[in-house]
Structure 1
Amino acid sequence: MIYKHLVKIPILGSLLAITNAYVFNGDFASDRKFAPLLMWAKLLPCIIFSIGLTVLTIFAPCIAIDNKFPQCGLGKDSFVSSGGALSTAILPTILGFGIGVYALIFSLSKKFVRLFHEKSRMAQKDGRKISVLTINADIAYPLISIVFSILIGLIQQRFPTMLWLSALAWMSLWYSMLMTLEIIGTIYRLGEHSLLDKVDEDDDHSWS
């Protein structure tokens, strides 16, 4: 299959594999084939929301001046051109935080992983595409989104007068912030399950 050949391409193959696993909700089949077309719609809400925030960020200040629509003042020191600078200033810290969280996955207890795997198998019987690898994909995909945003930010700072590149920098920045919220949501779910697991473990000890 073409998918197996594409994932062998250096760098791009890894990006495709991570994105496909994220869209596929960690399904084991993501190693062999593309996720069904409808499942790729999972990416649309954050993309659309990022585009909306980008439009407001770039054009709303322009409209607000004397109720006219002047040029947005592209330039090295203009607000419109600051998306790349903000990305390179903010996102590396968030990336470091995300990588630290990603490392915590490997410290999860075997009991917790088995319990999550059993629940995911029950979900599959109900027709939902999910597996224990969902945890892995839900953190890895936001991290590569942040890396791409940093790269776009670096390129945009080299060409500050290109409106489309400034818009792309802002869009990627907003998208990365939304992905950061998703990482926090994943941490919350992991923390919730981990705490309940510890409570159940203490209850078992109290009965023994």
Structure 2
Amino acid sequence: MAIAFVATSKLPTAFGDFNISVFQDPETGEEHVALSKGLEQPPSTPVLVRVHSECLTGDAFASLKCDCGPQLKATQKLIDEAGQGVILYLRQEGRGIGLTNKIRAYALQDQGHDTVDANLMLNLPADARKYDMCKIMLNHLHVKQVKLITNNPLKINALKALGIDVVDRVALTVGLNPFNEQYLKTKLERMAHMYKKDDF
């Protein structure tokens, strides 16, 4: 069974007023969220979109080990300023390995291993995320063309493979700090993320 739309509501936030829509995967019970603005009518121009995978430590607890929380907040601000856009918030904690395994990987990182090797040492893929639900969610919002807010080329390729028309990429470099410098360098050097070396 396909991921299905469940409900939508208005959501005032510290970064402006949004609509929040919930989609559920009937097989897993996972609930994915679209946080949107300015999409009450089908858009006629490309829409700012961020595909953001859940990160409890970064999004909720303001962890400095990653840049997830700052990316989410900066995207909300960017969309509010633009007057239109959507964040697809996917329940794929720890690049899809789940919270428990993510913390296990964190413990290995504390010993000096990078994020890729930590996952592999747990016999897990470096990135286990899936993006099929993005097309269903964007179709529901009538978004036909996307300006993707990302530094990750795999996301661009994954969305294009689903038939989503990604017409542009919007870089987002925020949240760099001494605690996540190695994490971000690993994304640059081992996962082909599109940071610039002088960002560090």
Structure-2-length-normalised TM-score: 0.28
| Larger RCO of the pair (alpha carbons < 8 Å, separation 6+) | 1
Q: Which has the larger radius of gyration?
A: 1
The structure carrying a bigger strand percent of its residues is 2
The structure carrying a bigger helix percent of its residues is 1
